[in-house]
Amino acid sequence: MLHYFNTEIANMFGVVPAVVAQNFWYWVRKNERENKNCFDGRFWVYESIREMSNVLYYISHNQVRSAIEKLVKSGILIKGNFNKSHYDRTIWYSFTDEGYAIFVKAEMENGKHTKATG
């Protein structure tokens, strides 16, 4: 399996937050391509810390949690709640305008399109 990360995010916050942010970016862009989970003008993803640490098996549960907190606190990620049930406490994540711009810039520098097209 191939995993990679945004070096600008890694330079600002560390490699683990960069890997976690890249995972969110993948899913946000996938939702954008499929026009899914769009709320308040943003595309969102929900994934538990447990699920994420299973996918990113080389990063511990606590490291994932810490990375998410760091990215939220720094203004790269935002949290939301778009669950249908009042009792569902699943946290949704999306990128702030600043976070989105960092990833789009990296895509442009690597020859990818700015709009998620597949």
**What residue spans define the domains of the chain?**
7-109
pLDDT at 110: 82
What b/e readout covers 35-44, taking b as 16+ CB neighbours within 10 angstroms? eebeeeebbb
pTM (predicted TM-score):
0.88
Query: pLDDT of the chain along its 118 residues, tens only?
Result: 788 899 999 999 999 999 999 999 999 999 999 999 999 999 999 988 999 999 999 999 999 999 999 999 999 999 999 998 988 888 999 999 999 999 999 989 887 654 444 4
Of 29, 40, 25, residue with least CA distance to 82: 40
pLDDT at 58: 95
Architecture of the domain whose range is 7-109: Orthogonal Bundle (1.10)
pLDDT at 118: 43
